[in-house]
Amino acid sequence: MITLEFKKEDIELDKLNMYGLEAENYEIMQIKKFIGNAETVALIVTLSTTTISAISKIIIEKIKANKTVKVKYKGVEITGLSSDNTLKILKELCKKDDH
């Protein structure tokens, strides 16, 4: 599983299927933090070869729009992804998940 965190206003949850993400492959959680007013949405996705493309499209779109995306995988938070290295990193994580 991989988690993508966005500010609530930065993601249109009803359009996730347009990225090729099937409903059975993800879960949505709304997070209210104690500090600050911005609500956060966590998109929890099964990491597999079939979901990598959709996940990378979402991340790259948000990067190009200068939006913040936090990627969390097995307790490690990945920030500062560029559109060039997003797909590469996701493929490497998927390979490690298969072993």
Question: 20-71, pLDDT tens digit by residue?
Answer: 888 899 999 988 766 666 688 899 999 888 888 888 888 888 888 888 788 8
Q: Strand pairing of 70-73 and 26-31?
A: unpaired
The pTM of the whole model exceeds 0.85: no
CB 49 within 8 A of CB 94: yes
Question: What is the reported pLDDT for 39?
Answer: 83
Question: What is the reported pLDDT for 99?
Answer: 52
**The residue to which tokens 């995306």 are assigned:** 69
Question: What is the reported pLDDT for 36?
Answer: 65
Query: What distance in Å separates the CA atoms of residue 51 and residue 25, rounded to the nearest whole number?
Result: 8
Q: Which residues of 28-59 are buried (b: 16+ CB within 10 A; e: fewer)?
A: eeeeeeeeeeeebbebebbbeeebbebbbbbb
